[in-house]
Structure 1
Amino acid sequence: MINKYLTLSARIKQELSEINLSIERAKKAWEKAHIQSDSLFLDSVALNLHDFYGGLERIFELIAESLDGVKPVGANWHQELLRQITVEIPKIRPAVIDVDLRKELDDYRAFRHIVRNVYAHNFLPEKMKPLVEKIDDIYSKLKEQLEKFCNFLENI
């Protein structure tokens, strides 16, 4: 049974590493988009912001399936999963992230939806700017909270 929790912790840490690479790529592409005035770099920003949230959602799905035993379904399952992960489940697990972080991450969830449903030439830099500007702060909070959760898993 303990292997299950150690494996989950290792997978969370591996995803965090991949997420960090997506963040660095998004920031680098954002810089290049402004230096070179090339909108093609905005496509890279959008894709990497998409990957940032996609990686987080993979972590949250792993936790929901492995520990909670249930993953939301239906049209709003992405929003519900984000809510589920902020709830402490007595005798099973603590909240994975806090409500304030959930609210901040919801902007990235919504942007990922845009990336999936809009042609790349319609991406708006003004929608991406606040996401890029606050991503380091959000990742710092996220990493701290997920490392705390991994510590919980490793000590079950």
Structure 2
Amino acid sequence: MRTTYLTIAGRIRQELTEITQVVERVQQIWQLYTSTQPRGNEFLVDATALNLHSFYAGIERLLEVIADRIDREKPMGSAWHRELLQQMTADIPGVRPAVLSPETRTRLDRYRGFRHVVRNVYSFSLDVEQIVPLVRHLHAVDAQIQRELSQFADWLEQAAGAE
């Protein structure tokens, strides 16, 4: 387990760095979109949506690794994405502490839902009004994710050292 825990902790830290880069890209693209007059460069909306999708996808990849390699149980079925978020808020005695707080799960669920939209509609059909709150809250949600996943990586490293 020691190597597994250390490997996952390293991966979490690496992905968090990449997630930060995605958040910065979203902010830069959105700033360009909102400063363009008249507002008409819809390609910037597409780029924002793609990066919001990447933000959530990066987080979900990490949660899947935790479910697969630590919990040894990944949700299945049509609602597995939502169930994965729920699973990560559970403290599993003898296995691991909760990875995410319920508040973070709730906030991430909005990005999960948007990820579904991006994957299932044509980009020219995206609703800018759906994107606005996601961009507005992105830094706060990212800060929560960075804090909670870093704490979990710390726990993994401590648990590996205790073996």
TM bucket (normalised to shorter chain) is over 0.9
User: Larger radius of gyration, structure 1 or 2?
Assistant: 2
Aligned AA for 1:30? Answer: W
Which 5+ residue runs of structure 2 have no aligned equivalent? Answer: none
Deviant stretches of 4+, over 6 Å: none
Residue 128 of structure 2 is aligned to residue 125 of structure 1? yes
State how 1:3-152 maps to structure 2 within 5 Å: 3-36=3-36, 37=39, 38-152=41-155
Once residues 45 and 81 of structure 1 are traced to their aligned partners in structure 2, the CA distance between those partners, rounded to angstroms, is 25
Deviation string 1:3-28 (CA, Å, 9 cap, x unpaired) is 11110000011111111111111111
TM-score normalised to structure 1 length: 0.98
Q: CA RMSD in A?
A: 0.7
Once the two structures are TM-superposed, the CA of residue 45 in structure 1 deviates from its matched residue by 0.3
